[in-house]
Amino acid sequence: MKAIAVIPGQANSVHMTELGSPCLSSIPNGRGVLVQVLQVGVDGTDKEINAAEYGGAPPGYDFLVIGHESFGRVVEVGPNVRELKPGDLVTATVRRPGNSIYDQIGTYDMTVDENYYERGINLLHGFLTEFYVDDPEFIVKVPSGIAHAGVLMEPMSIVEKGIVQAYEIQRRLRLWKPKKAAVLGAGAIGQLATLILRLKGLEVITLARRKAPNHKSALIEELGATYASLEERSYADHAKEHGPFDFIFEATGSSQIAFESLQYLEKNGVLCLTSITGGSLTVEIPGDQVNLDFVLNNKVMFGTVNANREYFEMGVRDLATAECEFPGWLSKMLTHPVQGLDQYKEMMNLLINDSEAVKVYVDVSPL
Ligand SMILES: NC(=O)c1ccc[n+]([C@@H]2O[C@H](COP(=O)([O-])OP(=O)(O)OC[C@H]3O[C@@H](n4cnc5c(N)ncnc54)[C@H](OP(=O)(O)O)[C@@H]3O)[C@@H](O)[C@H]2O)c1
């Protein structure tokens, strides 16, 4: 079976390799599910893994098969699988449970274990291959009506978690009816955050670097949100016009922007950080002023990573709602298809160099 892998620790090592076919019986108690991979999305994490900034090979291997954003079709199920059947369209969660109490109750995205296992990222092979086997606990059915957007399920789950966590945190207020939100970043994560917040009826401004019009700004405006360029005006100016914000969802990859946001939160507001900032940038902030403002106005900042099954299931429902509310919008997010695993060099090239790309994905097998 063909697979796209890297050698962890060795920069620019992406290559094609051979992997043995997965076996249904590798999952105990007749609970195996064999899935044919149809599409796999790639993102900044895959870029960082290929740059040797991140990632580990599974025990017994010197390579890691990458790809954690999967969409596929069930081919065969073990005798004790009732919840899925051959032909079902599915996605798969990424992290697998470890030992902590959070792992044991299904919230493995909240693990406090030092080492964690993530398919395509750390210690487990990913989905940029032809078939995989997993336990149905980690496989989520995708209705055929949204098959064309199934490859967006994993990034959608990340955004669902960030937004659900913000609402959970705000239960401290007994009543929280956010009206104004800022989304920072108009990549895949920023687009999906804008989508979900618009589905919730919030007024949203989405900030990115480049001037409008461009494809990302057009997508944002189709959702009835406002696109704002930081090349044209400062964040402070945009915040003066549109803020302060009850909710800020940060997804730029820039800790500079993340910390500048502290100043533009509304009283009782909440700031959600999602960027994986692998660098070593130091940011200066007006510490006393921000501290006082956070204390006197009951503000919250939190981080979020990964997503468990619950957030994938929410993602399915919101993708379906999105297709009704904004028909055709999800397809326009899928900007850069790559035909087949053989084209892995093009995949990595688009991922690294094409600033127009909202989502690069590989068509592994026909839908
Ligand atoms: N926490 C998690 O579990 C999780 C999961 C997945 C991804 N992430 C993180 O989420 C972040 C966003 O991911 P993505 O795939 O959407 O990234 P992306 O496609 O690279 O998009 C980044 C967006 O941020 C904008 N941007 C970058 N630097 C900026 C700056 N200094 N000021 C203003 N805007 C800036 C870019 O603007 P232009 O469009 O104008 O270039 C772009 O719209 C990444 O840091 C990624 O690591 C986190």
Whether 185 is in the pocket of ligand 1, judged by its Cβ within 6 Å, is yes
The per-residue pLDDT for range 277-334, each reduced to its tens digit, is: 877 899 999 999 999 999 999 999 999 999 999 999 999 999 999 999 999 999 999 9
With bands split at pLDDT 50, 70 and 90, how would you rate the model's confidence at 54? confident
Ligand 1 pocket, residue 189 CB under 6 Å: yes
- Name the residue with the closest Cα to ligand 1, atom 20: 187
Q: Is the pLDDT of residue 117 over 90?
A: yes
Which architecture, in CATH terms, is 2-141+335-363? Alpha-Beta Complex (3.90)
17 confidence band (pLDDT: 50, 70, 90)? very high
93 lines ligand 1 (CB under 6 A): no
**Predicted confidence band of residue 367 (pLDDT cuts 50, 70, 90):** confident
Q: Going by DSSP bridges, is the β-strand pair 33-42/360-363 parallel, antiparallel, or unpaired? A: antiparallel
**Which pLDDT score is estimated for 16?**
98
Q: What is the pLDDT of residue 77?
A: 98
Question: Residue 38: its pLDDT value, please?
Answer: 98
**Percentage, residues of the chain above pLDDT 70:** 100
Residue 193: pLDDT over 90: yes
Q: Which two tokens stand for residue 73?
A: 């079709």
Please identify, by atom number, the ligand 1 atom nearest to the C-alpha of residue 355.
Answer: 41
Q: Is the pLDDT of residue 58 over 90?
A: yes
The residues near 349 (Cβ < 8 Å, ≥ 6 apart) are: none
165 lines ligand 1 (CB under 6 A): no
Classify 356 as helix, strand or coil: coil
* Residue 24 burial (CB count, 10 A): 17
What value does the mean pLDDT take over residues 50-70? 96
The answer to pTM > 0.85 is yes
pLDDT at site 271: 98
- Calpha distance 166→162 (Å, rounded): 6
User: Could you tell me the distance, in angstroms and rounded to a whole number, from the CA of residue 217 to the centre of ligand 1?
Assistant: 14
Q: Is the CB of 273 under 6 A from ligand 1?
A: no
- Tell me the domain boundaries of the chain: 2-141+335-363, 157-303
Ligand 1 pocket mutation pick from 42, 43, 336 by most atoms within 8 angstroms of CB = 43
- Rounded Cα distance, 324 and 304, in Å: 28
pLDDT at residue number 278: 79
Q: With bands split at pLDDT 50, 70 and 90, how would you rate the model's confidence at 352?
A: very high
Number of H helices, E strands in the chain: 11, 19
What pLDDT score does 185 carry? 98
Statement: residue 95 has pLDDT above 90: yes
Q: How confident is the model at residue 142 (pLDDT cuts 50, 70, 90)?
A: very high
Residue 216 Cβ < 6 Å to ligand 1: yes
Residues whose CB is less than 8 angstroms from the CB of residue 90 and which lie 6 or more positions away in sequence, other chains included: 33, 35, 71, 72, 73, 74, 84, 139, 140, 141, 142
CATH fold group of domain 157-303: Rossmann fold (3.40.50)
120 ligand 1 Cβ < 6 A: no
